[in-house]
Amino acid sequence: MSQSPWQPISPEKPVRAIREPLTRERIVDAAMRLLVEQGYDAVSMRKVAQVLDTGPASLYAHVANKKELDQLLVDRAAQDMNLPDTPDPDRWQEQLKDAMREMLRVMRANPGVARAAMGQVPLGERALLSTERMLGILKAGNLPDQAAAWAVDLIPLFVTATAFEETVKGGAATWTKDDIDGFVAYLRGFFESLPADRFPLTVALAGALTAGASSDERFEFGITVITAGLASLADGN
């Protein structure tokens, strides 16, 4: 029977939006967005909860604490790392250099991940797979077991420190060539102005100390030194 025209029309009940279930994956997604857009210091359990429109307590059902969240962020970045799964004994040194370049590329693409990785032993599945592949390259170079084991700790330390330093510099990433040239000239002048009796080598090497201002040039020097040093430890040398 149709409703009487004299009967007031009851308002329709508002349709409640269906909230997407909270998962570890969604938490890491939100934390990674904060990390890239606002930096490491902006990432807290409370801030991630705000982004997800929930309370911090609900996050702890999926992520134990901030330390575990850092692990998850490092592991998420590691999934973008392309390392060779077939080590080549004839090219292991170049593969190792490429692996270090790839690690830096991923950290640069995810600013803040380097800070999250500081002091961490990467235990996530993807991070462990990267370590496994790095070990494969080192063993292809005939490195002793202990040297290979220590190398997979040394290498990430160097790459992470390089990436972290770049994030600390902040605005330096947007410097123009004139900005860089001006800073280098100032730095060289400062070194040259030091008392030569106390800092004779610093004064004498002022030009060399300020050459290669590009972080890429210095990074390439670093990976060359590391690779050559490891090669000298290979069995049979």
Cα distance between residue 114 and residue 89, in whole Å: 30
The count of structural domains within the chain is 2
pLDDT in tens, 2-17: 555 555 555 665 555 5
- Is there a single domain that holds both residue 46 and residue 143? no
Return the higher-pLDDT residue of 176 and 57.
57
| Cα-based distances in Å from 135 to 7, 32, 71, 215 | 79, 28, 20, 26
- Is there a single domain that holds both residue 41 and residue 101? no
211: in domain: yes
127: in domain: yes
Cα distance between residue 64 and residue 56, in whole Å: 11
pLDDT in tens, 49-87: 999 989 889 999 999 999 999 999 999 999 999 998 899
pLDDT for the residue 7? 55
102: in domain: yes
Q: How sure is the predictor about 135, in pLDDT bands with cuts at 50, 70 and 90?
A: very high
71: in domain: no
7: in domain: no
- Is there a single domain that holds both residue 129 and residue 162? yes
> Does residue 157 surpass a pLDDT of 90?
yes
Q: For the residues 10-26, what does the mean pLDDT come to?
A: 70
> Does residue 173 surpass a pLDDT of 90?
no
Cα distance between residue 210 and residue 186, in whole Å: 10
157: in domain: yes
Q: Which domain holds residue 35?
A: 24-63
Query: Which candidate, 144, 148, 146, 150, places its Cα nearest to that of 135?
Result: 148
- Is there a single domain that holds both residue 56 and residue 148? no
- Is there a single domain that holds both residue 175 and residue 211? yes
| 188: number of Cβ within 10 Å | 16
- Is there a single domain that holds both residue 53 and residue 136? no
- Is there a single domain that holds both residue 93 and residue 182? yes
| Cα-based distances in Å from 138 to 24, 82, 85, 93, 225 | 34, 16, 12, 8, 15
- Is there a single domain that holds both residue 138 and residue 176? yes
| 42: number of Cβ within 10 Å | 13
72: in domain: no
Choose one of 34, 63, 92: the last residue of a domain: 63
pLDDT for the residue 85? 84
- Is there a single domain that holds both residue 111 and residue 218? yes
- Is there a single domain that holds both residue 43 and residue 138? no
Which span out of 107-111, 196-200, 232-236 was modeled with the highest average pLDDT? 196-200
Which span out of 57-61, 150-154, 163-167 was modeled with the highest average pLDDT? 150-154
Q: Are 70 and 116 in contact (CB under 8 A)?
A: yes
Q: What is the CATH number of the domain that holds 41?
A: 1.10.10.60
3: in domain: no
Q: Lowest-confidence range among 11-25, 59-73, 107-121, 219-233?
A: 11-25
Choose one of 63, 91, 116: the last residue of a domain: 63
Return the higher-pLDDT residue of 163 and 166.
163
> Does residue 152 surpass a pLDDT of 90?
yes
Q: How sure is the predictor about 214, in pLDDT bands with cuts at 50, 70 and 90?
A: low
- Is there a single domain that holds both residue 200 and residue 174? yes
Q: For the residues 13-22, what does the mean pLDDT come to?
A: 64
Q: What is the CATH number of the domain that holds 121?
A: 1.10.357.10
Look over the chain and give the mean of its residue pLDDT values, rounded to a whole number. 87
- Is there a single domain that holds both residue 85 and residue 110? yes
Structure token pair of residue 205: 């090497």
